[in-house]
Amino acid sequence: MPQLNPPLFFLLSGLALTACVSNPITGRQQAMVVSDEQAAAESSQSYTQLIGEASKSQTLDDDPAQLARIKAITDPLIREAIALRPNTGGWNWEVHVLKSDEVNAWCMAGGKMAIYTGLLTKINPSDDEIAAVMGHEISHALLSHQAEKLSRTRMQQVGVSAGVLAGALFGLNLSGLTPIANSVADVGLQLPNSREAETEADTVGLKLAAQAGYNPEAAVSLWTKMLQVEGASPPEWLSTHPDTRARLAQVKEEAKKLMPVYEEALKAHQASR
């Protein structure tokens, strides 16, 4: 039987040895061949370019009051994020409002954030609802989801290449199957992992919001609004996000659990005045 050639063997062995680490917040095993530092460096470069282009096109922070509102909401979320994962205190946290009809917000590795005006105008969120959105997005960065996604993508590419090479060792030309193999890997590996990441970010994000003094039950009203503006979506097994109705049910349960945390945070805030 043909043997796996040494370079490929050592490459795959190295990936297997370095891939799995335990997340410091959730304890879940994550595939990691790209570090948080590498992901943050890539994010910072992309973010600088995006913000520069938005500034030139006059789609960046065109409403100072709106930006001030977003910063006032994200600042306490950032404090809670740093308390949960202290090494993120060294991140250069940053948030901007981008003029776009898209209902979206995000936080890159390294704490680079943005929220779109489409979300603010179409959802018309309360401060508590914005906290639910941004707590969720910040949690993606806290939980190393971008580094994990980059890692899985690179491992997927290596795995497909390894399959083609292994086929060649048996005299088979499998290069024409590469697109199919990538599609199968996307559905079987990347998409379920993305849905798991979204669920994790929902849970941790609600905790951040509650600890920062924002009502976690606002996430319920937020996702109810999202259902109203959401267009036709693919079935859950072909989506990177959980089904919104299933998500809403889970968020309701998590919000109930976190109400005592929220109430305690309110008392602490009132006592500090």
Model pLDDT for residues 228-241, shown as the tens digit of each residue: 886 655 444 334 55
The answer to whether residues 190 and 156 touch, using CB atoms and an 8 Å cutoff, is yes
Tell me the C-alpha to C-alpha distance, in Å, between residue 121 and each of 62, 126, 131: 14, 11, 16
**Given this model, what pLDDT does residue 80 score?**
97
Q: Examine the pLDDT at 132 and tell me if it is beyond 80.
A: yes
Q: Measuring CA to CA, which residue among 103, 101, 113 is closest to residue 73? A: 113
Q: Examine the pLDDT at 42 and tell me if it is beyond 70.
A: yes
8 versus 266: the higher-pLDDT residue is: 266
Q: Could you tell me the pLDDT band of residue 272, with boundaries at 50, 70 and 90?
A: confident
Q: Examine the pLDDT at 125 and tell me if it is beyond 90.
A: yes
Mean pLDDT of 76-84: 97
221 versus 39: the higher-pLDDT residue is: 221
| Mean pLDDT over the full length of the chain | 79
Mean pLDDT of 257-267: 95
Give me the sheet containing 112-116, strands edge to edge: 94-98, 112-116, 105-107
196 versus 76: the higher-pLDDT residue is: 76
**Given this model, what pLDDT does residue 90 score?**
94
Q: Measuring CA to CA, which residue among 118, 175, 119, 161 is closest to residue 15? A: 161
One-letter identity of residue 127 = D
Q: Angle at the Cα of 132 (from 127 to 135), degrees rounded to 5? A: 115
Strand 20-22 versus strand 29-31 pairing type: antiparallel
Query: What is the full DSSP assignment across 26-84?
Result: T--EEE-SS-HHHHHHHHHHHHHHHHHHHHHTT-BS--HHHHHHHHHHHHHHHHHHHHH
**Given this model, what pLDDT does residue 233 score?**
56
Q: Could you tell me the pLDDT band of residue 129, with boundaries at 50, 70 and 90?
A: very high
Q: Examine the pLDDT at 13 and tell me if it is beyond 60.
A: no
Q: Could you tell me the pLDDT band of residue 169, with boundaries at 50, 70 and 90?
A: very low
